[in-house]
Amino acid sequence: MPQSDQAHALYPGSFDVLTLGHLDVLRRAARMFPKVTIAVAHNPSKSVSLFTVDERLDMLRECTADFANVQVDHFAGLTVDFARRIRANVILRGLRAISDFEYELQMAMMNESLDPDVYTVFMAPAPKFSFLSSSLVKEIAHFGGDVTEYVPAPVAARVRARMEAAK
Ligand code: ADP
């Protein structure tokens, strides 16, 4: 594991939809690591998505434009393979509650087994974001609720437009 001044963190996820919780974790990571790549995973097991990968990437680029050391990317396949390809030595995951823990730890152990040179780092968001999830935001939007408090402004606008179009 190289020294921390060379650390490059990969923050993988579905980001369908990007929430203020995701952004909070990213903001914290951008202050800790010299370089962070936030990447949308093409996840075949999550077939029902609100936004396409391209739309999610557009929103991510818009919402992370102010972070000088953050790059936006996407990948299919194993996270550790992508990490190796972009020379990231840390996989960053958010942890909200105990309910996240079991799955996240299982995945971290598996990734460690697949590539012991890539470490998983868990990051908690600010408490006010710890109840937020993409699926909850989508459910609220689906039933006509206002999601502006939970997602970045460009994402809220896109969610509204998508819901209008579906009417
Ligand atoms: P995935 O399908 O890989 O779980 P998500 O987009 O749902 O992708 O989440 C990406 C990462 O962000 C995961 O590590 C998840 O635990 C974390 N995360 C999601 N919502 C929050 C939140 N409100 N605060 C902190 N971390 C979060």
Atom of ligand 1 nearest to the CA of 122: 14
Span 20-26, mean pLDDT?
A: 97
Cα–Cα dist 53/42, whole Å = 7
pLDDT of residue 4: 60
Q: What is the mean pLDDT of the chain?
A: 93
Buried b (16+ CB within 10 A) or exposed e, 56-87: bbebbeebbeebeebbbbbbeeebbebbbeee
Cα–Cα dist 106/161, whole Å = 37
pLDDT of residue 37: 98
Q: How confident is the model at residue 43 (pLDDT cuts 50, 70, 90)?
A: confident
Q: Which residues pair with 73 in a beta bridge?
A: 39
At 7, list the tokens.
Answer: 């650390």
Q: Is 89 in the pocket of ligand 1 (CB under 6 A)?
A: no
Span 116-144, mean pLDDT?
A: 95
Given a cut of 90, whether residue 98 has pLDDT beyond it is no
Cα–Cα dist 27/19, whole Å = 12
Q: How confident is the model at residue 2 (pLDDT cuts 50, 70, 90)?
A: low
Given a cut of 70, whether residue 133 has pLDDT beyond it is yes
The catalytic residue positions are 22, 46, 96, 134
